[in-house]
Amino acid sequence: MKTDLFINGQWMAGSQGTFPVIDPSTAEPIISVARAGLDDLDHAIGAAHAAWPSWAATSPRQRSEVLRRAFEAMIARREEIAALIHQEMGKSLADATAEVTYAAEFFRWFAEEAVRIDGELRTAPGGTNRILTFRKPVGVALLLTPWNFPAAMATRKIGPALAAGCTVVLKPAEDTPLTALLLADLLAEAGLPEGVLNVLTTDQPAAFVEKALSDSRIRKLSFTGSTRVGQLLLAQAANHVVNCSMELGGNAPFLVLDDADLDAAVEGALVAKMRNHGQACTAANRFLVQESVAEEFTSKLVSAMAALPSAPLVNERALVNLGSKVDFSGGRVLLGGKRTTSPGFHYPPTVVTDVPRDSVLAREEIFGPVAPIITVRDDEDAIAVANATDMGLVGYIYTADLARGLRLAERLEAGMVGLNRGLVSDPAAPFGGVKQSGLGREGGYEGITEYLETTYVATSW
């Protein structure tokens, strides 16, 4: 298991000692990893900056083939990587295995995108000159990832950055540093040149990131995490006008309309709510159910949730936060609602009904296995409640009437909509939010453009 810093192609100890990584299912330490100091950061930025011109000058095919080999290695080592994610993050082995496949697909997708970076030739409207555009990598990218998908959040950033020709300093979340270190090892084996990817771990992110963003060699920030930290980083990035992509928090509405297939809606609800034990930015946060089907949907959801096992949350803080949101929700707990006596940070599947529209469960991101149910009168009421939030990552709609669903999808203030589907994540799709859920898109054709800049040449002939 790799536990050192990865800088300029070498594994090395951190200048600030180590910090422990905890197994959420037992609350016991697994191992200690290197704590990077600011001198390590300077070393890593220097290595990434030095490696940038030659990496940017490699052929698209060369960059593509490194990513393709990394994809194949992830699939070949799927069980080992899944076991590590399961251990350091606490998600079930099934969820961890699904994550590895999803994460690897970003390497495959961006291996395919690396060879499709293009420019344009336009004629100016007056016909007197030509406008020639080409795309160049932005430069050294600082990539910051959360703990909830330790592999996928990293590959969703590393893939397009490397495909575009950027070099990288990656800092994974302090709860889950081990998966990122494994990915560094795997990319080095796939033939990535020294300095192109550097991975630094620390449990003191604030000082580390502030220092990185004060360094003018960093030209790109891609952050996935909470809106609160995202806002802080946007302010810090302003100093050097750093190019920013932000994937922030969510508060997804899940609409169940009176004509919906309720069994399909429950099946979708389990995916949208319970994947990763509710710890996903795309997690259904508010079930907005039309009055005439509320009772039947609720009873079906309770039966389905009751059949699921309890799983741990990532840490004690998350457990305490979730418990207090349920205790002060103002609703009626139909299932679960109390932390279990198992070791580690377990919280059971929970359903709360009659949730007031201004409840803490409706206003804040829950990030756990709790499904709050709010009844709505009609489509207008559903849209009004759905959009009454500063977040806008994703929304879900269940209806048998496709036209009705599409009309509502257009009106949802969200970057993504699941229409009769509980899962929107797809490496080939543009993932991202509106309002305070973020800036930019990851995945799809859009993903690589976040790491490219456009230069145009004015000419005439």
- In 3D space, the residue among 356, 260, 345, 271 whose CA is nearest the CA of residue 310 turns out to be 345
CA-to-CA distance for 42 and 49, rounded, in angstroms?
10
**330 Ramachandran zone, left/alpha/beta (phi>0; psi -120 to 50):** left
Residue number, 248 or 352, with CB nearest to ligand NAD = 248
Token digits of residue 442 = 């990851």
Proportion of the chain in helix, strand, coil states, percent, rounded to 5: 40, 25, 35
At closest approach, how far in Å is the CB of 366 from ligand NAD?
A: 10
In the complex with ligand NAD, the residue whose CB is nearer, 74 or 209, is: 209
Amino acid at 165: G
What residue ranges bind ligand NAD (CB under 6 A)? 144-148, 153, 171, 173-174, 205-206, 209, 224-226, 229, 232-233, 247-250, 281, 365, 393, 433, 438
Q: In 195-205, which positions are buried (b, 16+ CB within 10 angstroms) versus exposed (e)?
A: bbbbbbbbbeb
Q: Pseudo-torsion of CA 186, 188, 192, 198, nearest 10°?
A: 100
Structure tokens at 429: 């799709």
Cα(206)–Cα(367) distance, integer angstroms: 22
Q: Which helix (H) or strand (E) holds 382?
A: helix 379-387
Query: Hey, which residues does 170 pair with through a beta bridge?
Result: 143, 199
Which residue among 99, 105, 113, 247 is the active-site one?
247
* Three-state secondary structure call for residue 12: strand
Joined together, the tokens standing for residue 60 give 């698209």
Cβ atoms of 396 and 284 closer than 8 Å: yes
Q: What angle do CA 275, 279, 284 make, to 5 degrees?
A: 65
- Identify the residue whose tokens are 């990035």: 237
From the number of C-beta atoms within 10 Å of its C-beta (0-12, 13-18, 19+), residue 184 rates as buried
The one-letter code for the residue type at 415 is G
User: Shortest gap between Cβ of 171 and ligand NAD (angstroms)?
Assistant: 6
CA distance 262 to 293: 8
Closest separation between CB of residue 148 and ligand NAD, Å?
Answer: 5
Judged by beta carbon, residue 223 or residue 287, the one nearer ligand NAD is 223
Q: Is 247 a catalytic residue?
A: yes
The C-alpha atoms of residue 357 and residue 389 are separated, in whole angstroms, by: 11
What DSSP line would sit under 252-279, residue for residue?
Answer: EEEEE-TTS-HHHHHHHHHHHHHGGGG-
Distance CA 116, CA 111 (A): 10
Output the residue with the shortest Cβ distance to ligand NAD.
Answer: 225
| Minimum CB–partner distance for residue 37 and ligand NAD (Å) | 16
- Cα distances from 145 to residues 54, 174, 210, 258, 311, in angstroms, run 26, 10, 15, 39, 22
DSSP structure string for 130-155:
EEEEEEEE--EEEEE--SSSTTHHHH
Which CA distances in Å does 123 have to 119, 456, 457? 14, 12, 12
Which residues are known catalytic residues? 247
